[in-house]
Amino acid sequence: MKMRKKADFPQKICLHCQKPFSWRKKWARDWEAVRYCSERCRSAPKLTSAAEE
Ligand SMILES: [Zn+2]
């Protein structure tokens, strides 16, 4: 008998807000390509060192 985790979905860390987010059905087709937790993060300006200029 094995205990099976309830949350069986994969997780990723959002590139923008650095928060973990879980698989969602709407990403079923391109989960591999998902980098951000939400549309807002996806369209937000990147947090890079570009500001150093
Ligand atoms: Zn995010």
pLDDT tens readout for residues 3-17: 776 668 899 999 999
CB 27 within 8 Å of CB 39: no
Give the pLDDT of residue 8. 81
Residue 2 domain-assigned (yes or no):
no
Give the pLDDT of residue 33. 96
Residues with CB under 5 A from ligand 1 (ion): 14, 16-17, 37, 41
At 35 the three-state DSSP class reads: coil
Residue 4 domain-assigned (yes or no):
no
The tally of domains found in the chain comes to: 1
CB 42 within 8 Å of CB 30: no
Question: How many angstroms separate the alpha carbon of residue 15 from the centre of ligand 1?
Answer: 7
Give the pLDDT of residue 53. 44
Segments forming the whole domain that contains residue 43: 9-24+33-52
Of the candidates 36, 1, 20, the one whose C-alpha atom is nearest the C-alpha of residue 47 is 36
Q: What does pTM read for this prediction?
A: 0.66
Residue 13 domain-assigned (yes or no):
yes
Residue 3 domain-assigned (yes or no):
no
Question: How many angstroms separate the alpha carbon of residue 29 from the centre of ligand 1?
Answer: 19
Take residue 49 and report the two structure tokens written for it: 């060192």
Residue 37 domain-assigned (yes or no):
yes
